[in-house]
Amino acid sequence: MPTQYQAVGRRKTSVARVYLRPGSGNVIINKRPLSEYLPTEIRQRAATAALDLTELRGEFDVVVNAKGGGLTGQADAIQLGVARCLVEHNAELRKPLRDAGYLTRDPRMVERKKPGQPKARKKFQFSKR
């Protein structure tokens, strides 16, 4: 059994490198505790949802390097990375994690801005005369 499991999670423009180590349940993101890095409870729950589903919250320490995007994107990227680590740890967890949607990479990205328009789809005001 390896001493740690690692995986990458992505969402929008966020990338989270996740390391799962046997421990007491500490979650460290960019060298800061979970509650300090993600102050809102909904983001904290999103980041640790895979551990809560598999009831392995107190068995592993999670160390994360997250970059890019905003806090919500990073929380979802962490969620995917943790789920991938858990599957690496125990392949039998794949089905419950897949059914809960934690192993699916959300493909939605920001649409690019087009030339001659102020935003991706918004147009400048049209004038007949």
Q: Could you tell me the pTM of the whole model?
A: 0.91
Mean pLDDT on 31-51: 94
Domain that holds residue 28: 5-100
Q: What is the DSSP string of 57-111?
A: TTTEEEEEEEESS-HHHHHHHHHHHHHHHHHHH-GGGHHHHHHHTTT------PP
pLDDT at 112 over 80: yes
Residue 121 lies in a domain: no
* CATH code of residue 92: 3.30.230.10
Tell me how many domains the chain contains: 1
Q: What is the pLDDT of residue 106?
A: 94
Residue 124 lies in a domain: no
How far is the C-alpha of 80 from the C-alpha of 16, rounded, in Å? 9
Q: What is the pLDDT of residue 41?
A: 95
What is the per-residue pLDDT across 54-98, written as a single tens digit (0 to 9) for each?
A: 999 889 999 999 999 999 999 999 999 999 999 999 999 999 999
pLDDT at 1 over 70: no
